[in-house]
Amino acid sequence: MATKYIFVTGGVVSSLGKGLASASIGCLLEGHGYKVAMMKCDPYLNVDPGTMSPYQHGEVYVTDDGAETDLDLGHYERFTSCVTSKASNITTGKIYGSVIAKERRGDYLGRTVQVIPHITDEIKASIRAVAASGGQEADVVIVEIGGTVGDIESLPFLEAVRQFRQDVGRDNAIFVHLALVPYIATAHELKTKPMQHSVRELRAIGIHPNILLCRTDRYLAPEIKAKLALFCDVPEEAVITAKDVDSIYDVPLVLSGEGLDGIVLKELGLDSRGREMAAWERLVHRIKNPKGEVTIGIVGKYVSFEDSYKSLNEALSHGGFANDVRVVRRWVESEELEAGNADRLLAGVDGILVPGGFGTRGTGGMVAAADFARRSGKPYFGICYGFQWAVTSWARHVCGLAGANSTEVDEQAEHKIVYKLQDLLGVEDMGGTMRLGSYECQLAPGSRAAQIYGSQTIHERHRHRFEFNREYEGCLNQGGMVITGKTPDGKFAEIAEVPGHPWYVAVQFHPEFKSKPLSPHPLFADFVRASLANRQGVTARASTGEVPVASS
């Protein structure tokens, strides 16, 4: 069977959920028995998002092979079984960089290098490459085009996918267009003009959408669908309501209820191999019917923009799914804890999580959060930066090393507990120079980490430029903190834990990147379990008058 292609475009405004729509289509196609591969085309000039501010772009999602990519790839991996790679995310910067490098080598034999055909051919080659990037040819490749129709930046990508359909045959590629159909409260009407104008923009550049996904807050009435079908020249059955939902994991089922998977299969000339969505349906039922809740305090640097912690957010939810509870997040700006008020601001949480980050701002608050968890007995989970400040906090407050610090903050620190990766000394370029991707870690037998994973060998994804200075390992051990995860060569410390604490685990890697709703990451599942046990313990003690009930 020839590989089929689905191109997902967006119109009117950004942030409508093209990534979730693409991931949901992939989820439904897998439910019908097809192997999918997924790809995101970003129109910005950065080579990748690795050097972009989390406030502008959200989190940087890291793949197994060490690519710094768009956060939508996280949705792809969470909703489907596909494993993304460097091939799964291209940008204008990456494409132009490749074409310019070929021109400098003389690959174009003196020809004038132009957007058409050279840039568009490079884009098309990248799309073909992702079809086979998993080692086995995908049945269907889903390609999301970033930005909105009408943006000058995305025109080369749209022209490339227009040509691509001609190249592979019209029966082997379809276009799905997502745009806004807003409800105007004062007029008590849904307005179809934004979608109509968006489709007109697409058709003006030669792309005729096969399916319309109408992002709205209510189901579209048949007469609205008929109007859109008439003016946008698509079948009525291909006008799909993409309704707002309480949980993103409900999106595939809502779209399936609208008949999206059926029309996609029909347009691509595919037969269902037997629809299997029972596990997903059970998941959504569990999400909607939690048996309790747990409050997690997240002490970070970018808490005003939650997309900065997208995978972390979802992994926490997955931990809740595994324990049949709803996770309530209390976002705490780390700078706010630097005034010595950690006991007050974190008193009502059931567990404390310190996620990744870079730079000097707010690091004192992360140290304070780690120390509060030590003193209070509340479960503590440190990830990447949270690992580095946990070991620093322990060195200062338990081992008595008042001058302990990271050289990222103070290059002249008396005790360099955390310092720049020795392999990066002298490397000043920011992009792609960190320790990136999946690496093996060996766990100490009998450690909490080994018990949680049920294994002594794990592979996790990394993104960091600084490391723990193992010269201080003996000092930490004397204070009660143990390094229980190391690389096979013993070079890097990967996990630190405190055996006498109810739950105190810090990891140098990013476990959130490998968590899925149907298979929650074991660290997040056990952290939520421990936080729930802490909550229940506090409540039980309060009922006997031992302690006051903590406010949450």
In a domain, 425, yes or no: no
Cα distances from 14 to residues 25, 46, 61, 182, 513, in angstroms, run 19, 19, 19, 14, 24
Please indicate, yes or no, whether residues 255 and 303 belong to a single structural domain of this protein: no
Residue listed under structure tokens 């772009």: 57
Count of Cβ atoms closer than 10 Å to residue 162 Cβ = 18
Q: Is the same domain home to 173 and 98?
A: yes
Is the separation of the CB atoms in 332 and 303 below 8 Å? yes
The residue from 249, 284, 319 where one domain ends is: 284
* Angle ∠(462,467,471) on CA atoms, nearest 5: 145
Query: Is residue 550 in a domain?
Result: no
Q: What is the 3-state secondary structure (H, E, C) of 509-528?
A: CCHHHHCECCECCHHHHHHH
Give the residue from 98, 67, 99 showing the smallest Cα distance to 83. Answer: 67
Residues 111 and 236 in one domain: yes
Residue 426 inside a domain? The answer is no
Annotation marks residue 399 as catalytic:
no
Last residue of a domain, one of 259, 284, 309: 284
- 432: tokens are 């792609």
With beta carbons less than 8 A apart as the criterion, state whether 221 and 211 touch: no
The whole-number pLDDT of residue 540 equals 66
Specify the CATH number for the domain of residue 352. Answer: 3.40.50.880
Q: Which helix (H) or strand (E) holds 299?
A: strand 293-300
Q: Strand 435-443 relative to strand 482-486: parallel, antiparallel, unpaired?
A: antiparallel
Residue 512 catalytic?
yes
> What is the Cα–Cα distance from 424 to 523, expressed in whole angstroms?
29
Do 361 and 411 share a domain, yes or no? yes
Distance between terminal CA atoms of the chain?
55
Catalytic member of 27, 258, 512, 521: 512
The verdict on whether 214 is a catalytic residue reads no
Asked if residue 267 and residue 144 are part of one domain, the reply reads yes
Number of H helices and E strands in the chain, helices first, is 18, 23
Three-state SS string across 124-182, please?
HHHHHHHHCCCCCCCCEEEEEECCCCCCHHHHHHHHHHHHHHHHHCHHHEEEEEEEECC
Q: Give the pair of three-digit tokens for residue 57.
A: 């772009």
* Among 501, 316, 305, CA closest to 393: 501
pTM: predicted TM-score of the whole model, two decimal places: 0.93
CA–CA gap between residue 316 and residue 319 (Å, rounded): 5
Q: How many domains does the chain have?
A: 2
Residues 395 and 494 in one domain: yes
Check whether residue 37 and residue 155 sit in a common domain.
yes
Do 140 and 234 lie in a common domain? yes
Which of 247, 262, 284 marks a domain boundary? Answer: 284
User: For residues 310 and 346, is the Cβ–Cβ distance under 8 A?
Assistant: no
Looking at residue 424, its pLDDT comes to 55
User: For residue 99, what are the domain limits?
Assistant: 4-284
Q: Of all residues in the chain, what percent are helix, strand and coil, respectively (each to 5)?
A: 45, 20, 35
- Tens digits of pLDDT across the chain (552 residues): 799 999 999 998 888 899 999 999 999 999 999 999 999 999 999 998 888 887 777 899 999 999 999 999 999 999 999 999 999 999 999 999 999 999 999 999 889 999 999 999 999 999 999 988 766 789 999 999 999 998 999 999 999 999 999 999 999 999 999 999 999 999 889 999 999 999 999 999 999 999 999 999 999 999 999 999 999 999 999 999 999 999 999 999 999 999 999 999 999 999 988 888 999 999 999 999 999 999 999 998 888 777 889 999 999 999 999 999 999 999 999 999 988 888 999 999 999 999 988 888 888 999 999 999 999 999 999 999 999 999 999 999 999 999 999 999 999 999 999 998 876 555 555 555 789 999 999 999 999 999 999 999 999 999 999 999 999 999 999 999 999 999 999 999 999 999 999 999 999 999 999 999 999 999 999 999 999 999 988 766 555 555 443 333
What is the C-alpha to C-alpha distance for residues 158 and 149, in angstroms, rounded to an integer?
A: 8
Q: 457 lies in a domain?
A: yes
Same domain flag for 358 and 214: no
* Cα maximum dimension of the chain: 85
pLDDT in the model for residue 252: 96
- Of 318, 415, 464, 510, the catalytic one is 510
49 within domain boundaries:
yes
Radius of gyration of the chain, Cα coordinates, nearest whole angstrom: 25
Where on the phi/psi map is residue 73: left (φ > 0), alpha (ψ -120 to 50), or beta? alpha
Cβ atoms of 471 and 503 within 8 Å: the answer is no
Q: What CATH number did the domain enclosing 239 receive?
A: 3.40.50.300
Catalytically annotated residue among 384, 399, 441, 475: 384
- 279 and 332 share a domain? no
